[in-house]
Amino acid sequence: MAVDSLGNPVRLILTGGQASEYGQSKCLIAGFSADYVLADKGYDSDAFIQRIESQDSRTVTPPRHHRKKQRDYDRELYKKRNLVERCFLKLKRYRRIATRYGRLARNYLSMLCLVSSIIWLA
């Protein structure tokens, strides 16, 4: 999920239960113009960081501990990443999403889109 600076969802991509979210990371940021892109350690890869910088944005992603050359990042700005987690909590207030009643991915994604539009209107 990609959110704006207010924590409202702007892009949702559904992945399989066993699939990594990182595989969809480039699709999440495609077409957006942002000053900063905040992501957690799971998105710390050279290819993803280069993609962010090619869009004239700065990355605020903490480096993984096993990197040979540790990268600096803005720790204060990284604290704003909790907006993504808050957005997930807003989505999970709806029982159908929290318990995943929709068996088909298209039904679940359509419910996510519907609830996202409700979040935008609230």
pTM of the model: 0.82
pLDDT for 45 beyond 80: yes
| Distance (Å, whole) CA 88 – CA 72 | 27
Q: How many helices (H) and strands (E) does the chain have?
A: 6, 4
Say which DSSP state 69 is in: S
| Distance (Å, whole) CA 114 – CA 111 | 5
State the average pLDDT over residues 26-48. 88
Which is it for strands 36-38 and 58-60: parallel, antiparallel or unpaired?
Answer: parallel
Kindly report, residue by residue over 106-115, the tens digit of the pLDDT.
999 999 999 9
Kindly report, residue by residue over 17-36, the tens digit of the pLDDT.
777 777 888 888 888 888 99
pLDDT for 119 beyond 90: yes
Domains by residue range for the chain, with CATH: 2-121 (3.30.420)
pLDDT for 97 beyond 80: yes
